Chain A
Amino acid sequence: MTMNVLLFFVSCVLTNNFIFSRFLGCCPFLGVSSKVSTAVSMGLAVTFVMTIASLVCYVVYNWILVPLGLTFMSTIAFILVIAALVQFVEMFLKKSSPSLYSALGIYLPLITTNCAVLGVATLNMNNGYSMIQSVLNGTFSAIGFLLAITLMAGVRERLESSKIPQCMKGFPITLVSAGLMAMAFMGFNGIV
């Protein structure tokens, strides 16, 4: 059991990394990765939301959509669930934990439309995961996202102070770095 969880962890974080091998969640990956501190906050917020969204989407899919034969509606139902969930979590955090809210709060609305969150719910459904597997998949994939965005922020902070040809400044060099990192992550293929 422990071994399986460990393998699952390695598979989600490294080999099937959401950004570098599935190319989901690229928008926040490029948009919020200019500073390590904000990147970590964003990564943590995504982890938080993806874990809960995996659970809730599992419940909605298996307990409501499957019995009624409405599985073709999964995408629209997941979008609805995720959007409502993020709003709810934001309100809840604001009341119950102002410190956590100030750390994650401004990033939560950004996650409402993050394709990584929708992606994890759809993957859970397609792979036929059980409830525990779904939640673990959500958490571990989000940790992979956290790892990727933090690494990227570190790289971009270095890029800030390096001499870059005029034509490559800004977005081009960022995309090239992201591509190189994706290739590096390809190296993990086959270890699980």
Chain B
Amino acid sequence: MIILYAGLVLGGLGLIFGLVLSFADKKFHVDVDERVEKVRACLGGANCGACGFAGCDAFAQAVVDGKAKPNGCAPAGASGAEKIASIMGVDAGNSEKMVARVLCQGIRGIAKERYVYDGYKSCMTAAGIAGGPKDCRFACIGLGDCMDHCAFNAISMKDGIAHIDENLCTGCGQCAQVCPRSVIKLLPASQKVRVQCRNSDTARLAREVCAKACIGCGRCRKECQYGAITIENGYARIDPDKCQGCGACAAVCPCHCISAPDTVAEAS
């Protein structure tokens, strides 16, 4: 008898709660943008928070609001990003994959050091002390603020500067935001030729602080057949739309601060 009661009571309670909940689902139904639910379905669903939002729902909402990129969800991977891009009407084929790149080659022995920094391991802190531990005020400080903020373990510190593994980088841009020197830039993944220096000082000053600094001599500009290179603020810039990736500029650069496709291959 007691078993019957127990079954009835629990079954009854379950039934009542089920009815109440299904009623509440209809009654309290809130119309949400249907894209939010579709995007939500493409995500990892682990509420891991790697995207920087409070959970998968919050990320889906942010994507629909245009505050987050379709490829922000690491567990969903590239296929998930494509699905989300198609839901959002962004053509995934046209949206160029961006990767973060460190535009500095100032490793130990190349960039002069101003003093030995032995304080709290933070680029932000070091940058505030007498202009930073390296003489070049544009150089990567190399204490790893970007590494700490990378949710995908794509960044490592080598010889005093940051290295980014392009295969792991999702182009979220967290590292570029935290870098106190703005030495990390988001660039198209297909753009292999790049000027790896942002020193805008005059040639003499730039050369004094780093052996691989761009001195703005303009030889690369003369060499480029496509007119892709300009010298602005004392250093060379490559227009990714015009660059064909021939690497002629890298060959003539007297300071070895332009990376060509083959040198990139060697490095990786």
Contact = CB atoms under 8 A, between A and B. Distances in A.
A69 B4 CA distance: 12
A61 to B, nearest CB: 11
B9 A65 contact: yes
Interface stretch (A11-19, A81-89, A143-151): A81-89
A76 interface: yes
A80 B9 contact: no
Interface string B172-197: 00000000000000000000000000
A106 interface: yes
B57 A70 contact: no
B24 A88 contact: yes
Interface in A102-149: 106
A183 interface: no
Nearest to B47: A106
A31 to B, nearest CB: 11
Contacts of A94: 28, 30
A70 B28 contact: no
Nearest to B56: A106
B28 A106 contact: no
Interface residues of A, number: 20
A102 B9 CA distance: 35
A91 B28 contact: yes
B10 A80 contact: yes
B77 interface: no
25 contacts: A60-B13, A64-B9, A69-B2, A69-B5, A70-B2, A70-B6, A73-B9, A77-B9, A77-B13, A80-B10, A80-B17, A81-B13, A81-B17, A84-B20, A88-B21, A91-B21, A91-B25, A92-B28, A94-B30, A95-B27, A95-B28, A95-B29, A106-B55, A106-B57, A106-B58
